[in-house]
Amino acid sequence: MADASDGVRLSVPGLEVEARLPWHAATLRYFDPHGSFAAAVAAVTGTPLPAALTATILPPDAAVGAGVVLAWLRPTEALALSGKAAPIAQLKERLADAAGGHVVELSGGLEAFRVRGSRLPEFLGRLGGTAVALRPGEARRGRLADVPMLALSVRAEEVVLVADRAYAAHLGDWIDATLADWSDA
């Protein structure tokens, strides 16, 4: 999967993996999760910053566009993901003068894998990450295949794994090996 083209899908019965999602990303870094930057984010997106260990999809009336995912990363940082560049650019532009925080563009620095299906818990366990088996609306940092990453879920039986680009090939190789083992079984 490490050399696969954007959006390639691989599957075995009960599991589908979409690799190298063409997502654009930015981190929202702030000092106070209830301060002026948080208020500016809520005004622009139509939703507050994500609470600890949560993820959400922005509502259709969000000023930066529907479909942007906001996920908790740390107590003073959230991740914004979008399938299109424009919403991230708009978020960065509209929050440029907001006091108490800033937006850092990460597009190109992260890779994402979407994993869905009934075998999702078994798959995550195989990669060593039972702690990242999530319910919709959750986000959690962890390790899979000994790689630090963020797992988030906004839909049932679906998890998005977000890793630093430097680790994506390694994670992809583990995913490939797991799917190959299951295909042979």
56-106 per-position pLDDT tens digit: 999 887 878 778 999 999 999 999 999 889 999 999 999 999 999 999 999
> How many structural domains are present in the chain?
2
Share of the chain above pLDDT 70, in %: 92
Is 179 found in the same domain as 140? yes
d(CA 62, CA 23): 18
Residue 4 lies in a domain: no
Q: Which are the contacts of 16, defined by CB distance < 8 A and separation ≥ 6?
A: 9, 10, 115, 116, 117
| This prediction's pTM | 0.89
Is 138 found in the same domain as 87? no
Q: Which domain holds residue 40?
A: 24-105
Mean pLDDT of the residues in the chain: 89
* 2 has pLDDT over 60: no
Residue 113 lies in a domain: yes
Is 95 found in the same domain as 28? yes
Is 135 found in the same domain as 66? no
Categorize the per-residue pLDDT at 139 as very low, low, confident or very high, splitting at 50, 70 and 90: very high
d(CA 150, CA 111): 11
Confidence (pLDDT) at 131: 66
Domain CATH code at residue 178: 3.30.1360.120
Is 83 found in the same domain as 124? no
